[in-house]
Amino acid sequence: MTQLKTAVANLRQGGSVLAEAVMRGNLKTLATMLGPAYRGFILQRAKREESTPIEVGYTSRFDWHYRRNFPEMAKLYEAAKSGQWNASKDVDWSIDVDPMDTDKALMPFDYFPLFDMPGFTALSERERATQLHGLMAWMLSQFLHGEQGALFAAAQVTECIDGLDGKLFGSTQVVDEGRHVEVFHRYLTEKLQKWYPVNDNLYVILDALMSDSRWDIKFLGMQILVEGLALGAFGTIRTGTKEPLIKEILKYVITDEARHVHYGVLALRDFYLNQLSEHERREREDWTCEIVALMRNRFLAHEFYEEYWAHAMSRAEWDRIANESKIMDVFRVTMFKRIIPNLKRIGLLSDRVRPHYEKMGLLRFEVGKSAPELTASDLLSDA
Ligand SMILES: [Fe+2]
Ligand SMILES: [Fe+2]
């Protein structure tokens, strides 16, 4: 009975995501998202279980000719091999991290959604630093969970992609993502000594792209969208933090992620522009629209809110404040100025879906640089 009650309460909170999808008329997309949404929003499996099994049903592809016929991809593979780093040796783990040290603040006070509200300003400096520590741990925990998803997705796309050059590059991404899991896990456990479970919205996206049998949806979901989300968040934190260790870690990680986005654009460009039927391309457009809506409106640190603010304000009030906060604004700009040009590059920003993006205020980013012209130094200059 308690379980049913919790499920109904979760449905009330997660259900608005589904209602928005219905309003956009994306019923087919909605159907593919129902399983992940049920497992994520309603059952909240990832919060109740130590490990969650997800059935995957996709087709692996062997290549018996071993043809190296994709020079752009081969170049990226070379760059990936020379760009490897060792998370335990190249990062200076001797740096002490003290979340209470305001000279090396984990993030600026005005990044905090409630920074100018009496409930926050009335707190002592130490209490405010404690909250920033919590929020930083929440964000980095989501990176950690996202990186675990990226590790699995990289393994899947390596199996699925056609051609040896793509498979060889994929093998480097598997190693990269493993290293990212290592580095965020170590920072959270050794340095911040606090971490949070996976956010429901992130879980739904990860579940949706893991369980989808279409190889290109894995690329689209992970390499273009989730990697874009991660780059937005990495850039936002790197800009604001004065803590030298996380700054250093993010520099390494951003450099790797730039290659991964590039990989996604290379793998999808020709397939979406020249091989898919119009009907299939539209399905991808609708799917993308829903994931973008989730990414734009839903990463509101609810797990953090429940720990520190649920007693003081309703979740709706928290959502409104968080959505209008400076940190969300910086994060959205950093994220979408990289994602939207990439969507355009692979042909998923047609006139049919432009009004949805316009409504979300995202079309202004379409003129930005896309991969492959977009380089790691562009991404680091965001940060
Ligand atoms: Fe990663
Ligand atoms: Fe990645």
Here the CATH number for the domain that contains residue 148 is: 1.10.620.20
pLDDT means per 10 residues, the chain with 383 residues, are 56 56 60 69 73 87 94 96 97 96 90 87 91 94 94 95 96 98 98 93 87 90 88 88 96 94 91 93 92 81 90 91 87 87 93 92 84 72 64
Q: Is residue 352 part of a domain?
A: yes
Q: How far apart are CA 383 and CA 379, in angstroms?
A: 7
44 — alpha (psi -120 to 50), left (phi > 0) or beta?
A: left
Q: Is residue 27 part of a domain?
A: no
The DSSP call for residue 67 is -
**Among the bound ligands, the one closest to the CA of 172:** 2
> How many angstroms separate the alpha carbon of residue 369 from the centre of ligand 1?
21
Place of tokens 């109740």: 48
Specify whether the CB–CB gap between 245 and 237 falls below 8 A: no
Q: Is residue 296 part of a domain?
A: yes
> How many angstroms separate the alpha carbon of residue 226 from the centre of ligand 2?
8
> How many angstroms separate the alpha carbon of residue 222 from the centre of ligand 2?
8
Specify whether the CB–CB gap between 291 and 299 falls below 8 A: no
> How many angstroms separate the alpha carbon of residue 7 from the centre of ligand 1?
32
> How many angstroms separate the alpha carbon of residue 380 from the centre of ligand 1?
15
Please give the pLDDT value at position 247.
96
Q: Is residue 34 part of a domain?
A: no
Please give the pLDDT value at position 22.
54
Helix axes 71-82, 244-270, angle to 10 degrees: 160
Domain count, the chain: 1
Query: Integer distance in angstroms from the first to the last C-alpha of the chain?
Result: 48
**Among the bound ligands, the one closest to the CA of 177:** 1
Note the pTM of the prediction, 2 decimals.
0.88
**Among the bound ligands, the one closest to the CA of 178:** 1
Q: How far apart are CA 337 and CA 235, in angstroms?
A: 12
Q: Is residue 340 part of a domain?
A: yes
> How many angstroms separate the alpha carbon of residue 223 from the centre of ligand 1?
10
> How many angstroms separate the alpha carbon of residue 148 from the centre of ligand 2?
10
Range of the domain at 330: 79-382
Specify whether the CB–CB gap between 268 and 219 falls below 8 A: yes
Q: Is residue 157 part of a domain?
A: yes
Task: Give the Cβ contact number of residue 367 at 10 Å.
Answer: 10
Q: Rg (Cα) of the chain, in Å, rounded?
A: 20
Specify whether the CB–CB gap between 14 and 42 falls below 8 A: yes
Q: Is residue 46 part of a domain?
A: no
Q: Is residue 195 part of a domain?
A: yes
Please give the pLDDT value at position 1.
47
> How many angstroms separate the alpha carbon of residue 366 from the centre of ligand 2?
22
